[in-house]
């Protein structure tokens, strides 16, 4: 392939979207991890020359452009202005990579010529965090097209999760009223069969803590209603799902959004989050014990091989068992920086294989009834 031509990495069959992205920054070898990560969710075109970038924009329906400010022949600022002029009603998003002084980039952002920018050098994780934050703003515009209950749950939960993360990052506990506000809406949505639409909409968002927390909370609430629990118990399950990963507020974004396998040190850092979640909730006034145990025990396994406590069998309560099932399933079907989302059928097969030694053998079949019925 000619080095001046555009190169493509097609999205996988499991991709949530087939949107096309133009990456006119760096090269395939130096940005391979980023290219691979984005290629799991998008059709990525690559160009290392300003003229080639413009040719791609004229021939393909690009939704997002990643531009190097110092592209040869036509710089990133000039291309960004042309992009916005091509489609004034719904222009592609532009993420600009700049070097040195960022004042020109700030002015371009304030003028609406670009949507976001990053100053080199930065890590792969920092780049992906900035990219997805920009894309998430686009996804959130669609929430107003949902029904009132679904839009309310998404907006309230995103706002409250951010507040909880900020509070927990400062040390001490959180305002548990934020959790109850979200769970009350979640229970109403579960009873009205509106959580399925929320789960579907979460596929278009990337914010790790928000997506995974609301996804697990929704799964737990739907499952609780499915097995006949009352509103109080369903609400408690939703609360457990919302806060089970609060400890990841202590994990840096470079680890959470790393587009590759974690090394031993990073993995040890990640494994600390159940204890950290427990510490936050123990310092929080009004935390139900079941919610606390779910946060601490959702990575425990029936055979004792889990963490952080190595609990086994009857030492793991029912809420801990339910949270473990929902956490595993949610992680499998979500897109991550290092993997594409898994199809529900494949995720169900993995859960079946884990039943008995890792997951509860009686609860897994009941959970899978919802999968086979297409509930999520």
pLDDT in tens, 141-157: 999 999 999 999 999 99
CB–CB of 319/265 below 8 Å?
no
Inter-CA distances, 29 with 32, 48, 95, 207, 260, Å: 5, 12, 20, 27, 15
In the residue annotation, 248 being an active-site residue is answered as yes
CB–CB of 124/258 below 8 Å?
yes
State how far the Cα of 290 lies from the Cα of 358, in Å rounded to an integer.
20
Q: Write out the DSSP string of 335-362.
A: -BTTBPPPPHHHHHHHHHHHBTTTB-TT
Q: What is the pLDDT of residue 169?
A: 83
**H or E element: which one contains 116?**
strand 116-120
Q: What is the pLDDT of residue 27?
A: 67
**H or E element: which one contains 93?**
strand 93-99
Q: What is the pLDDT of residue 125?
A: 83
Residues of the chain with pLDDT under 70: 1-18, 27-30
State how far the Cα of 176 lies from the Cα of 70, in Å rounded to an integer.
48
Which of these is catalytic: 248, 258, 301, 335? 248
Provide φ and ψ at 229, rounded to 5°. Answer: -75, 155
Kindly list the structural domains of the chain, giving each domain's residue range(s) and its CATH number in brackets, ordered by start. 7-121 (3.40.50.2300), 142-372 (1.10.3210.10)
Question: How many Cβ atoms from other residues are within 10 Å of residue 278's Cβ?
Answer: 21
Q: What is the pLDDT of residue 253?
A: 74
**pTM for this predicted structure:** 0.83
State how far the Cα of 62 lies from the Cα of 55, in Å rounded to an integer.
11
Q: What's the pLDDT tens digit per position in 49-83?
A: 999 999 999 998 999 999 999 999 999 999 999 99
* Placement of tokens 């700030």 in the chain: 106
């Amino acid at each position: 392939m000619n080095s001046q031509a555009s190169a493509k990495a097609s999205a996988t069959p499991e991709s949530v979207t087939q949107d096309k992205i133009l990456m006119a920054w760096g090269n395939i070898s130096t940005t391979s991890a980023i290219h691979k990560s984005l290629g799991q969710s998008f059709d990525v075109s690559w160009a290392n020359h300003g003229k080639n970038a413009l040719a791609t924009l004229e021939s393909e329906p690009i939704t997002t452009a990643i531009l190097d400010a110092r592209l040869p022949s036509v710089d990133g600022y000039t291309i960004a202005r042309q992009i916005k002029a091509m489609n004034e009603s719904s222009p592609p998003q532009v993420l600009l990579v700049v070097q040195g002084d960022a004042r020109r980039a700030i002015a371009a952002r304030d003028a609406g010529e670009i949507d976001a920018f990053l100053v080199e050098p930065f890590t792969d994780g920092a780049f992906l965090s900035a990219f997805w934050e920009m894309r998430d703003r686009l996804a959130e515009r669609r929430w107003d097209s949902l029904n009132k209950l679904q839009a309310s749950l998404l907006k309230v939960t995103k706002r409250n999760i951010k507040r909880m993360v900020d509070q927990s990052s400062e040390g001490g506990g959180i305002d548990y009223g934020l959790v109850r506000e979200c769970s009350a809406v979640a229970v109403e949505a579960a009873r009205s069969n509106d959580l399925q639409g929320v789960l579907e909409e979460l596929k278009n968002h990337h914010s790790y803590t928000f997506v995974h927390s609301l996804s697990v909370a929704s799964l737990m609430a739907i499952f609780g209603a499915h097995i006949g629990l009352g509103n109080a118990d369903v609400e408690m399950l939703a609360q457990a799902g919302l806060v089970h990963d609060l400890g990841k507020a202590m994990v840096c974004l470079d680890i959470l959004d790393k587009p590759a396998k974690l090394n031993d040190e990073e993995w040890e850092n990640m494994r600390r989050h159940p204890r950290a979640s427990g510490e936050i909730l123990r310092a929080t006034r009004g935390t139900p014990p079941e919610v606390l145990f779910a946060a601490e025990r959702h990575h425990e396994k029936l055979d004792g091989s889990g963490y952080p406590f190595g609990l086994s069998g009857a030492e793991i309560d029912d809420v801990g068992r339910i949270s473990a099932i929902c956490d595993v399933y949610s992680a499998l079907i979500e897109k991550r920086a290092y993997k594409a989302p898994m199809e529900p059928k494949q995720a169900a097969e993995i859960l079946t294989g884990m039943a008995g030694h890792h997951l509860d053998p009686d609860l897994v079949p009941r959970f899978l009834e919802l999968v086979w019925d297409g509930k999520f």
